Chains A and B, each alone.
Chain A
Amino acid sequence: MSQTHAIESRTDTLTGTGIPSGRLGVWWFLASEIILFGGLIGTFILFRHGNPEWVAAAEHLSLTIGTINTFVLLTSSLTIVMAFAAVDKGDSRRMRTWLFLTILLGFVFLGIKAFEWSTEIGAGFIPSTGGFWSFYYAMTGLHALHVMAGIVINTILFISAVLDRLKPHEYRIELAGLYWHFVDIVWIFLFPLLYLA
């Protein structure tokens, strides 16, 4: 009875290096993601250097909204850490609350971003308006897709926690957290490059 349970959780955390497989897998995945965003950001920096006039375009972005959104995303990184800390303490109820807050903040970020895009589009700045805008929409769009993926992951974990099915897999919160931090860090690069530089 508890024997089968032991085997199942074993296969989840089989190890040859001491590092749980889940964590190792996420690391490899994130390594690839770093190269993806690294390539994109590097390209942007090169083009931005070649086109000093992009400053004028960048001034149409709302620094206030950008700052608020940065704050929202940073807070969500904190909440997912709290969720994981709650797992460590064995406090499932707290864990659910923090996870829920993380999901909520993800939605808030996307909502603000959508509002921002729609005002920009309303003002006539669409992807084809110019080089800066092309990069702006490509970079923030790709980032937003990653936020959405994170929300989906966190929601799946949340639902299985509510249904009380997460218990043997609670370490997955840590894995989701790794990914969520990564999404956060990408934004930390995008924000100054697009809004401040």
Chain B
Amino acid sequence: MSDSVTGKAPPEAHPHHTDLGFWRTYVFSTDHKTIAKQYLAIGLFWAIVGGLLAYLMRWQLAYPETAVPGFGWVPEPHMVDGIIPPEFYNMLITMHGTVMVFFVAMPILLGAFGNFLIPLMIGAQDMAFPRLNMLSVWVLAFSSVVLLVSFFVPGGAAASGWTAYAPLSAKAVYTGVDWGQNLWIIALALEFASFLMGGVNFLTTAINMRAPGLSLFRLPLMVWMELTAAVLFLLSVGPLIAGAVMLLLDRLAGTSFFLPEGGGHPLLWQHLFWFFGHPEVYVIMLPGMGAALEILPVFSRKPIFGYRPIVYSTIAAGILSFVVWAHHMFPSGLDPRLAMPFSFTTILISIPFAIIVFAMIATLWGGSIRFPTPMLYALGTLAVFIVGGLTGIFNGSAPADIYIHDTYFVVSHFHYTLFSAVFFGGFAGIYYWFPKMFGRMMNETLGKIHFWLTFIFFNAVFFPMFFLGAGGMMRRIYNPLQYEFLQSLQPLNVFITYAAIVLFLGQLPFVVNFFWSLWAGKKAEQNPWEANTLEWTTPSPPPHGNFEAIPVVYRGPYEYSLPEVSEDWLPQDRPVEPRPVPAG
């Protein structure tokens, strides 16, 4: 056939299995769409846990050492009549970060979106390795169970920070946490294994199974983002896996990899962690931006501005992300001569991100913009990321960072970036692709209420934290009132806590909307948003095997408002010649 671009023949249709029974259809499914929903369920479950952990921390910071409303039932020694002891606070910090990064962000942005969208957007019938795909979600589920169990072992869950800095993490006596930390390591190792398998699958699928005509530069940007994320993850996680083995040996076999008294080096852990840790923040950020990048052109009815510059910027940021890691270690006793090059690379990495941000804004310019909920969330992703990215530049220059490091300034910075990707990007994606995933529309009014509550109260929570940080409030402290110089900041802490509670409750409209729409939402058409990408050329939800016939792709994904056709959109798989009869 006419397939000069990818040089491959269109594959034949899968035999359509529809009679697989309950277990094979919903639980042990190899269908990427079902697996995506499983990832989504895991991510949303952990989001609630992570949110509750944050609520507990915030209460303690506003009203230190008073009973947390609603938590009187937690038994000693974890909590005492609803009061949070210092050790428990350390656990809250640690598990909140761990849960949000590894069990919310990655399952939703990579697990759910990557799995659901890659095959649909490239016109494939499933992933390259469907059984490996099933295995990866089940390993993640198992890993989730291990992490959940760690809350209930004697000594409680891990308490050495989500970064597990040694020596704190390397000896049980330092935190009083024994098996909690071991299980943390094991859970993370399993999580890494799960996303390793996932990453191999993403890459192989998108490289090898694209529909005829779908050249690399016709791929939707979401696919580019998922792929870059997968590469970054695959190529950065290895040393941390080795590090996890070493940490476990330090704890269980008495070795001293990270313990100075035995000849080891605590900084080694920091290097291994951040060599992974910085690429990891892009693993999370890129798919969140990808969701926004898909949505902005659709609701501006304009082609994306600067498709190739965005792709090149993404690749450049990906490469640079391997040489910035020591910016997390400026005050850690890093050789000062190293601070300079790492400051330089860090400032450099903001350039590709700035290009992407400008491309997003330019896409909006002069468009006929509509504001349904997915668009509001996509704009939210953009707005919030700008603040996060700009403050990253402060952190990136060593002289400034030595002052703000380990203060609430950094806490605010990374929440602006992470929240932008995970929640604004995540919700943008969920509202946008829900019709495709579940075949029903979500309610717009509830969606808009949810957006404004989230947007306003997110900023109310995190913007004041910049002032807390500049005022000197340290990160990860149990009771700010212990420090005289922080006492004048306490009203700010109280304000933040109430804003956080509203932010948490503000998610209720989403929960209601999600479940209500699942059963009773308006039935979704094939292409409710009048978008171009391939996932909208198949029914909502797509059948097993996705496409009736493998689509043939004629153009890039963002051809909106072209003069050649009467509609203001032009799907990737519609030939223009002979000129189609204008529909409707």
Contact = CB atoms under 8 A, between A and B. Distances in A.
Interface in A1-53: 4, 7, 10-11, 14-19, 21, 24-25, 28-29, 31-40, 43, 47, 51
A54 to B, nearest CB: 10
Interface string B85-106: 0000000000000000000000
B200 A40 contact: no
B209 interface: yes
B523 to A, nearest CB: 32
Contacts of B265: 47
Contacts of B128: 14, 21, 25
Contacts of A31: 234-235
Q: Which of B237, B238, B249, B262 has the most CB of A within 10 A?
A: B238
A130 B264 CA distance: 10
A64 interface: no
Interface string B238-249: 110111011001
A141 B249 CA distance: 11
B376 interface: no
Nearest to B7: A18
A73 B7 CA distance: 40
A28 B195 CA distance: 13
A138 interface: yes
Interface of B is mostly: helix
Contacts of B207: 16-17, 24
B21 interface: no
Interface string B342-372: 0000000000000000000000000000000
A169 to B, nearest CB: 13
Interface string B250-264: 000111110000111
Contact of B249 (A16, A36, A51, A138): A138
B264 A131 contact: yes
A90 B243 CA distance: 44
A25 B197 CA distance: 9
Nearest to B12: A7
B210 A134 contact: no
Contacts of A35: 234-239
A16 B6 contact: yes
A29 B136 CA distance: 14
Contact of A38 (B200, B201, B205, B238): B238
Nearest to A41: B242
A127 B254 contact: yes
B235 A25 contact: no
A142 interface: yes
A7 B257 CA distance: 52
B12 A39 contact: no
Given A24-B207, A138-B245, A138-B246, A130 B263 contact: yes
B377 interface: no
Interface string A153-195: 0000000000000000000000000000000000000000000
6 contacts: A10-B11, A16-B7, A31-B234, A38-B238, A51-B263, A134-B257
Given A32-B199, A35-B234, 4 more contacts: A15-B208, A16-B207, A24-B208, A32-B200
Interface of B: 6-8, 11-12, 14-15, 128-129, 132, 196, 199-201, 203-205, 207-210, 234-239, 241-243, 245-246, 249, 253-257, 262-265, 268, 272, 275
Interface of A: 4, 7, 10-11, 14-19, 21, 24-25, 28-29, 31-40, 43, 47, 51, 126-128, 130-131, 134, 137-138, 141-142
